[in-house]
Chains A and B, each alone.
Chain A
Amino acid sequence: MTCTLRIFRGEQGKQYWEEFEVHLSPHLNIIAALMGIQERPINKKQKKVAPVVWEQGCLEEVCGSCSMLINGRPRQACTALIDNLIQASGSTTITLAPLSKFPLMRDLVVNRDSMFENLKKVRAWIDVDDSYDRGFGPKISPQVQEAMYILSTCMTCGCCTEACPQVNAHSTFMGPAPISQVRLFNANPTGKLQAETRLRPLMQKEGLSGCGNAQNCAKVCPKNIPLTESIAVMGRELGKQALKDLSRPSDA
């Protein structure tokens, strides 16, 4: 049994489709198939070509490296088992393409720097005084911990950004991930002390107002992070902040 990997590859302005034949084995995932192509880079026309390049890391869906479009859907390639893909689509041809909302580097690799820049913009950290021993942090209930843990599993993989129709060439919307990170840090009892500094960037034009409520983000998140809920919660917080701002005497 074989399947065909149809890969959209090449560099900016010079992209093309190329097909490779892959022998199936139980539980074969896209990464293992790509590794086979790397070792023996011969396409379906039996022509030797440059090996396909892609990003990978943990191969257990916890590092966020191997995001790509698989049959058009943004996801991690490591957990994409070929049997399941064939079953779901009814076709033995599987398409792989690089994420389209980020600058293309080559083949399946894109540059996701912008996602990390956004984490800086929204100050996605706890402002501790230093790393010296100042005792425990605040007590937190298991329920709150559980909620924060889920938000904190975001791998900055870019799937939500890719799926969001509001992230496009005509908009500066930062996408759902950093907004959800603000929710995480503003839920922490220490993080709350600086909540406003994280809300401000969300009031800018690249912030929360860019969301069009398409709700694609939560559907594609490999960690099932409730991104649309995060956006709704932060929307309410921004509303409260706006009221506070109105009642606050101006600096002038």
Chain B
Amino acid sequence: MATKKVIVVGGGLAGLSAAMKLAEKGCFVKLVSVTKVKRSHSVCAQGGINAAMNLKGEDDSPLIHAYDTIKGGDFLADQPPVLEMCLAAPAIIRMLDRFGCPFNRTLEGNLDFRRFGGTLYNRTAFCGASTGQQLLYSLDEQVRRYEAKGLVEKFENHEFMRLVLDDEGRARGIIYMDLFNMKLEVMKGDAVVFGTGGPGLIFKKSTNSTFCTGAANGRLYMQGMYYANGEFIQIHPTAIPGNDKLRLISESSRGEGGRIWVYGDATKSITTPEGKTIPCGRTDEPWYFLEELYPAFGNLVPRDIASREILRIIELGLGVNGESQVYLDVTHLSKDQQHKIESVLDIYRKFTGEDPHKVPMKIFPAVHYSMGGAWADWPAADDPDRWTRYRHMTNLPGCFNIGESESGYHGANRLGANSLISCIFSGLVAGVEIPRYIDSLSSSFETAPPNIYLEALAKEEAFKHDLLTREGPENVHRLHDELAEVMVANVTTKRNNKDLQYTMDKIKEIRERYKNISLDDRGSTLNQTYTFANQFAPMLELALVMTKGALLRNEFRGSHYKPEFPERDDEHWLKTTMARYEPEEPDIFYRPIDLRHLKPVKRDYAKAKKIKPTLEHIPTNIQLPI
């Protein structure tokens, strides 16, 4: 049988997991990445990776992990993939342990675990406070091993530009660009999987790496891929404001005991989640407002809640020095505890010049993660059509999507330390499903008509020529600033319909003006101005998807908070937002959510206790991809 040829776009945790699994299954993998895969944004993940291994004597279990994840996501996630991810998580940690990932250890030499937000259990494995970097390196090493064996070929510093679809609409390859010489090329394969990360750069300043433009997903969306739940953008409560980016201060700083506070002001009052009015602490004394408002979870409430409360405190005029910032304090922690988060404390020190061992850090919420992304299929283990559908395949046959660029696991809000596990799990799933998909094909790309590649290439050549010859007065970087300004102001923590409508209009105005840009660089070597100008077109389309989804969704759910509609509205809005590309603006439709394991309950973090949740209808024939 001929070797299956698969294209993997993106070399973060998801893409590398997929590449590794595919190579292990005997596929030949071409791995395309805008950077050296070892530099992918996954390295920025700090605090850890969740797996309910129950090594702390807490009676934790994957089912409780699934319950926490579904509830943390405010019931917006389809439940079968969440369940399987949580079931597979312990095996994934053991796999990484065998790969040599330097997880922190107990005195006995076992893996150590810490607590993270949205759970009452210590289920987060970690490597100091640079867990993402260490996990990525472990997978990078394994993929390099397959590269040395000739099963993986890397195309680093190359960017995906367009999917090539055959006459039946199946993915048969891509058009990609060499970022050194700007040449467009054709790459052929029988399946393409995308793990291209989040779209943080749409907001310009976020906790994301500068690679995270969302352009790959935007391009796929413009080619007909459905984009789901785009309006759900996670705002991380604790980041350091900066000129070039907003640097994350890990949730693990609170997991290890860090506390958020401001100076109190008893003359002011605030409403608790239970509707009581209480004073804002005692005047001029530290007020640990999350601990007072949420006694059960305290500083470890889910991120959407922490970000909203910080904003509320700042709006009350209680920000540190009257500015948009609150204290995150780890000065009281023991040396051992501080040592476990040394790498983030180091970042704070390097960028602010202040020593967080001695003075509290000053932080503010920042755009961090997209729960939304490509819509991808997930036949559950006991669905009758399980084996005729393909997990993680988008609505475009042969085009798969995984990791942060996909939408499947986190619903309306992602819990801390769940991103790394969802990236690796979805990558492994794709690695198992893609060979099965290719087996189902009646012909390979080798017999596909050559014109499908030539036409796709011609379209990209034409757009490149168009961009390089535009002669208008607009500057693409300034348009980016304008886009970011409205997106940050109107499509982050707190939303309202008037400003969302204004944002829709503004994005369209920017899109018009984008036709009149001219590039300061028209060369053919490392032309980063052109590269960005090209990315900006799909970024604008995704911005419209996020904004329109938010505009239409008249309720409060997870990260989507609209004071005009202050309650979760399951009757009308317990459904997945789906965006289909239209040139004017996205066509939005909705899909029902698969709630087969757990009926929606109130999302309470003020009083909740450890419980043994009951998940219904758990299939008996689950086959994990590991």
* Chain A residues in the interface with B (C-beta under 8 A): 11, 25, 27-29, 31-32, 35, 38-39, 41, 48, 50-51, 53, 55-65, 78-79, 81, 84, 105-107, 109, 111-112, 116, 119-120, 123-128, 130-137, 139-142, 145, 148-149, 152-153, 155-156, 185, 188, 190-191
- CA of A65 to CA of B156 in the docked complex: distance in angstroms? 13
Which of A39, A63, A109, A141 has a CB less than 8 Å from the CB of B43?
A63
- Indicate if B107 sits at the interface (CB-CB under 8 A): yes
- Whether B525 lies near A11 (C-beta < 8 A) is yes
Contact partners of A145 in chain B: CB under 8 A: 102-105
Which of B41, B97, B137 has a CB less than 8 Å from the CB of A57?
B41
- Whether A185 lies near B100 (C-beta < 8 A) is yes
Which of A27, A50, A106, A185 has a CB less than 8 Å from the CB of B242?
A27
- Whether A131 lies near B21 (C-beta < 8 A) is yes
Contacts A81-B350, A81-B353, A119-B144 aside, 18 further interface pairs with beta carbons under 8 A come to: A28-B243, A50-B521, A51-B521, A57-B43, A59-B209, A59-B244, A61-B350, A63-B35, A63-B41, A112-B36, A120-B147, A123-B148, A125-B145, A131-B142, A142-B105, A152-B127, A153-B133, A156-B36
- Whether A131 lies near B521 (C-beta < 8 A) is no
Which of B141, B245, B347 has a CB less than 8 Å from the CB of A126?
B141
- Whether A133 lies near B94 (C-beta < 8 A) is yes
Contact partners of B97 in chain A: CB under 8 A: 136-137
Which of A105, A116, A134 has a CB less than 8 Å from the CB of B526?
A105
Contact partners of A136 in chain B: CB under 8 A: 94, 97-98, 111
- CA of A63 to CA of B132 in the docked complex: distance in angstroms? 11
- Whether B350 lies near A79 (C-beta < 8 A) is yes
Can you show 8 pairs from A to B with CB atoms below 8 A apart? A27-B242, A51-B521, A53-B527, A57-B209, A58-B44, A126-B98, A139-B108, A142-B104
Which of A32, A53, A84, A111 has a CB less than 8 Å from the CB of B528?
A53
Which of A39, A53, A81, A84 has a CB less than 8 Å from the CB of B475?
A39
- From residue A9, how far is it (CB to closest CB) to chain B in Å? 11
- Indicate if B572 sits at the interface (CB-CB under 8 A): no
Contact partners of A149 in chain B: CB under 8 A: 102, 127-128, 134
- CA of A63 to CA of B521 in the docked complex: distance in angstroms? 27
- Whether A63 lies near B39 (C-beta < 8 A) is yes
Which of A53, A59, A65 has a CB less than 8 Å from the CB of B245?
A59
The residue on A at minimum CB distance from B94 is: A136
- From residue A124, how far is it (CB to closest CB) to chain B in Å? 6
Contact partners of B353 in chain A: CB under 8 A: 27, 81, 84
- CA of A65 to CA of B521 in the docked complex: distance in angstroms? 22
Given A106-B525, A106-B526: A142 in contact with B106 (beta carbons within 8 A)? yes
Which of B144, B351, B477, B520 has a CB less than 8 Å from the CB of A120?
B144
- From residue A131, how far is it (CB to closest CB) to chain B in Å? 5
- CA of A25 to CA of B243 in the docked complex: distance in angstroms? 9
- Indicate if B247 sits at the interface (CB-CB under 8 A): yes
- Indicate if B478 sits at the interface (CB-CB under 8 A): yes
Contact partners of B21 in chain A: CB under 8 A: 131
The residue on A at minimum CB distance from B529 is: A51
- Whether B20 lies near A131 (C-beta < 8 A) is yes
In this complex, which of A62, A126, A141 has the most chain B Cβ atoms within 10 angstroms of its Cβ? A62
Contact partners of B626 in chain A: CB under 8 A: 131-133
- Indicate if B252 sits at the interface (CB-CB under 8 A): no
Contact partners of B133 in chain A: CB under 8 A: 62, 153, 155
Which of A27, A63, A130, A131 has a CB less than 8 Å from the CB of B428?
A131
* Chain B residues in the interface with A (C-beta under 8 A): 20-21, 24, 35-36, 38-41, 43-44, 91, 94-95, 97-100, 102-111, 127-128, 130, 133-134, 137, 141-142, 144-145, 147-148, 180, 209-211, 242-245, 247-248, 343, 347, 350-353, 428, 475, 477-478, 481, 520-521, 523, 525-529, 624, 626
Which of B102, B134, B147, B477 has a CB less than 8 Å from the CB of A38?
B477
The residue on B at minimum CB distance from A124 is: B141
Given A57-B35, A58-B41, A153-B133: A127 in contact with B145 (beta carbons within 8 A)? yes
The residue on B at minimum CB distance from A34 is: B244
- CA of A142 to CA of B248 in the docked complex: distance in angstroms? 26
Given A57-B41, A139-B109, A145-B102: A50 in contact with B520 (beta carbons within 8 A)? yes
- Whether A35 lies near B521 (C-beta < 8 A) is no
The residue on B at minimum CB distance from A157 is: B39
- Whether B243 lies near A57 (C-beta < 8 A) is no
The residue on A at minimum CB distance from B208 is: A58
The residue on A at minimum CB distance from B111 is: A136
- Whether B245 lies near A137 (C-beta < 8 A) is no
- CA of A123 to CA of B142 in the docked complex: distance in angstroms? 10
- From residue B434, how far is it (CB to closest CB) to chain A in Å? 15
The residue on B at minimum CB distance from A78 is: B244
- CA of A25 to CA of B105 in the docked complex: distance in angstroms? 42
- CA of A191 to CA of B133 in the docked complex: distance in angstroms? 20
Which of A51, A63, A81, A131 has a CB less than 8 Å from the CB of B95?
A131
- CA of A148 to CA of B138 in the docked complex: distance in angstroms? 13
- Whether A124 lies near B144 (C-beta < 8 A) is yes
- CA of A49 to CA of B541 in the docked complex: distance in angstroms? 31
The residue on A at minimum CB distance from B142 is: A125
Given A63-B209, A149-B134: A137 in contact with B244 (beta carbons within 8 A)? no
Contact partners of B127 in chain A: CB under 8 A: 149, 152
- From residue B389, how far is it (CB to closest CB) to chain A in Å? 24
- CA of A192 to CA of B374 in the docked complex: distance in angstroms? 42
- CA of A112 to CA of B36 in the docked complex: distance in angstroms? 9
- From residue B312, how far is it (CB to closest CB) to chain A in Å? 27
Contact partners of B352 in chain A: CB under 8 A: 27
- Whether B98 lies near A57 (C-beta < 8 A) is no
- CA of A155 to CA of B144 in the docked complex: distance in angstroms? 15
The residue on B at minimum CB distance from A55 is: B35
Contact partners of A64 in chain B: CB under 8 A: 36, 38-39
- CA of A137 to CA of B108 in the docked complex: distance in angstroms? 14
- Whether B94 lies near A135 (C-beta < 8 A) is yes
- Whether A29 lies near B98 (C-beta < 8 A) is no
Which of A60, A106, A132, A185 has a CB less than 8 Å from the CB of B44?
A60
- Whether B36 lies near A116 (C-beta < 8 A) is yes
Contact partners of B105 in chain A: CB under 8 A: 139-142, 145
The residue on B at minimum CB distance from A108 is: B526
- CA of A60 to CA of B44 in the docked complex: distance in angstroms? 8
Contact partners of A156 in chain B: CB under 8 A: 36, 38
- Whether B98 lies near A56 (C-beta < 8 A) is no
- Whether A134 lies near B528 (C-beta < 8 A) is no
- CA of A37 to CA of B446 in the docked complex: distance in angstroms? 46
Contact partners of B248 in chain A: CB under 8 A: 60
Contact partners of A41 in chain B: CB under 8 A: 520
- Whether B130 lies near A62 (C-beta < 8 A) is yes
Contact partners of A141 in chain B: CB under 8 A: 105, 107, 109
Given A79-B351, A125-B144, A131-B428: A29 in contact with B520 (beta carbons within 8 A)? no
Q: Which 10 A-B pairs have CB atoms at the shortest separation, nearest pair first?
A: A139-B109, A125-B141, A32-B243, A39-B477, A32-B244, A133-B91, A137-B97, A63-B39, A149-B102, A126-B100
Contact partners of A84 in chain B: CB under 8 A: 353
- CA of A168 to CA of B484 in the docked complex: distance in angstroms? 45
- CA of A34 to CA of B312 in the docked complex: distance in angstroms? 35
- CA of A136 to CA of B109 in the docked complex: distance in angstroms? 11
- From residue A164, how far is it (CB to closest CB) to chain B in Å? 20
- From residue A48, how far is it (CB to closest CB) to chain B in Å? 7
